[in-house]
Amino acid sequence: MNTAIATDILDNNDTQSMPVKHSAQEAFDNLTETVGSPTVADPKMRASNVNVFYGEKQAIFDVSLDIGINEVVAMIGPSGCGKSTFLRCLNRMNDTIPSCRVTGDMTLDGENLYGADLDPVLLRARVGMVFQKPNPFAKSIYDNVAYGPRIHGLASNRAELDDIVVDSLKKASLFDEVKDRLDAPGTSLSGGQQQRLCIARSIAVNPEVILMDEPCSALDPIATARIEELIDELRQKYAIAIVTHSMQQAARVSQRTAYFHLGKLVEVNPTSDVFTNPQHELTENYITGRFG
């Protein structure tokens, strides 16, 4: 993990009181194309020219961004800039909001996410999501993890289901802590354990991509560190996109960072570049604490 960069960001926060340069607004108004490298050679997911509307209000403007295999892409930016809205497009969670309309092209392994023949329920198994607040079902630890494999018919007998549950809990770094109480309610776990249970639940249905929307915002620093380590391990197998308010977290866990501002994707670059040598003035203002 990029701990050194994360520490640099902390050290740079003495610039918080500096005024926003007037030219920053001009730079935003003139922004017609994302600065940096929104595409990768081997995309798992590709979003091209995506616009999102809530009724008449446009929340995302012409955003293009790839999520590559074995990479973590961090999405950062001021509150309300559209990070969660964009993330939710990637597994069609926005379908559940009646006023929400999405245009543009989005693909998973080249397949159109919004194609008429694509079942959103199956899509959400392939593109799992972990939310801000851990949300285990009111079921046992075992049944929380077994739920997805059961409804998707991934196990033909109890022994296979047991294997999936144990394997998923191991991958989520939770097994050792719960192996003696798999029948206990998921809600009896600590917040950090509940979040790892939710990650195990996503993993259990063999996802290819994991989306995380501020997964550590309800957790203490120790539980956060466990999840961050886990994200680093999960990257070996999955493509991951994470929305975070913590620039230190983005620096620690991601390989590329995407900076959103008022619904536009301003800059995407390797994380080390974004935090040490941002290309766009708006990114620089944000990471040095001049606004946000």
Ligand X SMILES: Nc1ncnc2c1ncn2[C@@H]1O[C@H](COP(=O)(O)OP(=O)(O)OP(=O)(O)O)[C@@H](O)[C@H]1O
Choose which of 20, 97, 151, 184 interacts with ligand X (CB under 6 A): 97
In the complex, least distance from residue 55 CB atom to ligand X, rounded to whole angstroms: 7
- Among residues 13, 80, 105, 181, which is the contact residue for ligand X, using CB under 6 A? 80
Could you tell me if 45 and 66 are in contact, meaning their C-beta atoms sit under 8 angstroms apart?
yes
With CA atoms as reference, report the closest residue to 106 among 257, 223, 25, 211: 211
**Binding-site member from 62, 66, 84, 123 for ligand X (CB under 6 A):** 84
**Stretch touching ligand X by CB under 6 A, among 82-90, 157-165, 167-175, 267-275:** 82-90
What lies within 8 Å, CB to CB, of 8 at 6+ separation is 275, 276
- 241 is a contact residue toward ligand X (CB under 6 A): no
Nearer to ligand X, 80 or 103 (CB): 80
Binding mask 20-59 for ligand X (x = CB under 6 A): ----------------------------------x----x
Whether 178 and 169 have beta carbons less than 8 Å apart is answered as yes
Pick between residue 140 and residue 195 the one whose CB is nearest to ligand X: 195
Give yes or no for residue 81 binding ligand X (CB under 6 A): yes
Dihedral over Cα of 117, 120, 124, 129: its sign: positive
CB of 291 to ligand X, least distance (A): 14
Residue 196 half-sphere exposure, CB side, CA atoms within 13 Å? 27
Per-position DSSP letters for 13-25, written without gaps between them: GGGTTSPPPTHHH
Measure the CA–CA gap between 255 and 270, rounded to whole angstroms.
6
Q: Is residue 264 within the footprint of ligand X (CB under 6 A)?
A: no
Among 32, 79, 157, 236, contact with ligand X (rule: CB under 6 A): 79
Binding part of the chain for ligand X, among 30-38, 83-91, 180-188, 282-290 by CB under 6 A, reads 83-91
Are 9 and 279 in contact by the 8 Å Cβ rule? The answer is: no
Q: Residue holding tokens 């991958």? A: 171
- Number of residues engaging ligand X in binding (CB under 6 A): 12
> Taking contact as CB under 6 A, which single stretch among the options 5-13, 39-47, 76-84, 141-149 is the one that binds ligand X?
76-84
Task: Give the Cα separation of 278 and 246 in Å (integer).
Answer: 17
DSSP one-letter code for 214: S
Task: Tell me the window of 77-85, 134-142, 175-183, 184-192 that interacts with ligand X (CB under 6 A).
Answer: 77-85
Q: Give yes or no for residue 236 binding ligand X (CB under 6 A).
A: no
Residues linked to residue 75 through DSSP beta bridges, in sequence order: 243, 258
Q: What is the dihedral of CA 216, 225, 1, 74, to 10 degrees?
A: 0
Closer to ligand X at the Cβ: 77 or 148?
77
Q: Distance (Å, rounded) from C-alpha 260 to C-alpha 168?
A: 33
Provide the minimum distance between the beta carbon of 44 and ligand X in the complex, in angstroms, as a whole number: 22
Q: Report how far residue 62's alpha carbon sits from residue 161's, in angstroms, rounded to the nearest whole number.
A: 43
Q: Which of 68, 82, 136, 148 binds ligand X (CB under 6 A)?
A: 82
Is 85 one of the binding residues for ligand X (CB under 6 A)?
Answer: yes
Q: How far is C-alpha 230 from the geometric centre of its chain's CA atoms?
A: 13
- Name the site residues for ligand X (rule: CB under 6 A): 54, 59, 77, 79-85, 97, 99
